[in-house]
């Protein structure tokens, strides 16, 4: 491992350890909820980054997997029993449904070029949104419903650590996935699909695989989100949820995974801070405008995202060092 790679790993480990000791520095319940939401959306943003950042697949309807996870877990906990067993069963059902739906959508649209996948995912996500609105006997429509949660998750501190642990585990798994031979093919597809196909790779198969993985991870984040709120309604199927993931991924840096975690923290902390400022002045009630300005500022200063721009700067610095070391002084 190179020195820069070692420093990168040490920094990531430092961030995760800092998050682990944070509850020992503050016992604020609102702080636990805020960071729990950051962890959940970080998982969702990482799943979106697999598609857009690594493979170049645009999905406008990624929220449908988030919604499937939220409703699957909620319905099991509401209609059966608020136990860990039924929570895991709800997550398992969400994983199966998301995997099947990802496979079907991928086989239908990923063989085509251009924006067909993006449009099809958007159409299906809105179809699920309308279905959830109209099937009031099951979903209570836009009003939504509350439900009990397992005893372990009732304590905000315990749920904080559960979400932190899942975020770290999924980060490690997805990082290994993207660095595997399969992940390298995905990067090749994202950079130049025609060249990867010319090398003999079955592009469709790789795209379907990453689509399934992204859908499953998004479903897990949706289930956690519903448990955090102890409430679910049709907003989990709204396109704003997908746009949040896009914003988080682009601010942190596409194709970096850790950038999704950083982007989630920036967006959620900015949202929380602007909401608090709204108590001081009405102008901050339009917090979306200020969030848009923040996004523009980050894009102007960090075109490849914060983590992506840092990696580019580090790579350029490394190249300059190599070039300086290879210069041979002329012999007099």
Give one DSSP letter per residue of 183-204, joined into a string. Answer: HHHHHHHHH-HHHHHHTT--HH
Half-sphere exposure at residue 214, Cβ-oriented, CA atoms within 13 angstroms: 36
For tokens 């029993």, the residue is 81
Instruction: Encode pLDDT of 39-71 as tens digits.
Output: 999 999 999 999 998 988 888 899 999 999 999
Beta-bridged to residue 232, according to DSSP, are 145
Between 73 and 329, where is the model more confident? 73
Q: Which of 204, 256, 321 shows the shortest CA–CA distance to 54? A: 256
pLDDT of 114: 58
Token digits of residue 141: 């429509």
Q: Which residues, including other chains, have CB under 8 Å from residue 142's CB and lie 6 or more apart?
A: 133, 233, 234
pLDDT over 90 percentage in the chain: 46
Mean pLDDT, the chain, whole residue set: 86
The pTM score is 0.91
- According to DSSP H, which parts of the chain are helical? 3-25, 29-49, 63-79, 84-109, 116-134, 136-139, 151-154, 156-179, 181-191, 193-198, 203-229, 239-252, 258-277, 287-301, 306-326
- How far is 37 from 229, CA to CA, in rounded Å? 9
- The 10s digit of each residue's pLDDT in 74-128 is 999 999 988 999 999 999 999 999 999 999 998 888 777 657 888 888 999 999 9
The residue whose two tokens read 């000791």 is 21
Residue with tokens 């090398």: 199
**With contact defined as beta carbons under 8 Å apart, do 322 and 277 qualify?**
no
In whole angstroms, what is the distance from residue 203 CA to residue 185 CA?
9
Reported as a pLDDT band with limits 50, 70 and 90, residue 3 is: very low
Q: Give CA–CA dist 296/87, Å, rounded.
A: 40
Q: Is the pLDDT of residue 284 over 70?
A: no
- C-beta of residue 281 within 8 angstroms of C-beta of residue 290: no
According to the model, what pLDDT value does residue 277 have?
77
If one counts every other C-beta atom within 10 angstroms of the C-beta of residue 14, the result is 10
Report CA-CA distances (Å) from 297 to 221, 248, 293, 300, 302: 28, 14, 6, 5, 8
């Amino acid at each position: 491992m190179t020195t820069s790679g070692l420093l990168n790993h040490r920094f990531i480990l430092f961030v995760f350890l800092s998050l682990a000791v944070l509850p020992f520095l503050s016992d604020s319940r609102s702080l636990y909820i805020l960071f729990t939401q950051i962890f959940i959306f970080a998982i969702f943003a990482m799943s979106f980054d697999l598609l857009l950042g690594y493979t170049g697949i645009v999905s406008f309807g990624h929220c449908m997997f988030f919604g499937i996870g939220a409703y699957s877990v909620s319905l099991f906990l509401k209609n059966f029993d608020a136990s860990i067993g039924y929570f895991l069963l709800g997550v398992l059902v969400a994983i199966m449904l998301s995997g099947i739906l990802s496979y079907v959508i991928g086989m239908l649209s990923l063989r085509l070029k251009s924006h067909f996948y993006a449009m099809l995912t958007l159409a299906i996500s809105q179809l699920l949104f309308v279905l959830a609105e109209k099937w009031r006997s099951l979903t209570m429509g836009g009003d939504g419903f509350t439900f009990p949660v397992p005893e372990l998750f009732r304590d905000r501190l315990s749920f904080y650590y559960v979400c932190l642990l899942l975020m770290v585990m999924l980060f490690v798994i997805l990082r290994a996935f993207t660095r595997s031979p399969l992940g390298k093919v995905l990067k090749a597809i994202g950079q130049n699909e025609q060249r990867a196909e010319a090398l003999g790779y079955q592009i469709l198969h790789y795209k379907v695989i990453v689509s399934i993985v992204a859908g499953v991870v998004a479903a897990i984040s949706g289930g956690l989100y519903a448990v955090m709120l102890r409430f679910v309604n049709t907003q989990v199927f709204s396109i704003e949820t997908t746009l949040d993931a896009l914003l988080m991924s682009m601010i942190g840096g596409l194709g970096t995974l850790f950038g999704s975690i950083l982007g989630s923290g920036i967006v959620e902390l900015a949202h929380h801070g602007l909401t608090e400022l709204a108590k001081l002045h009405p102008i901050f009630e339009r917090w979306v405008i200020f969030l848009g300005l923040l996004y523009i500022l980050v894009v102007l200063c960090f075109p490849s995202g914060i983590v992506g721009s840092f990696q580019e700067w580090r790579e350029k610095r490394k190249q300059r060092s190599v070039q300086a070391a290879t210069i041979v002084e002329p012999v007099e």
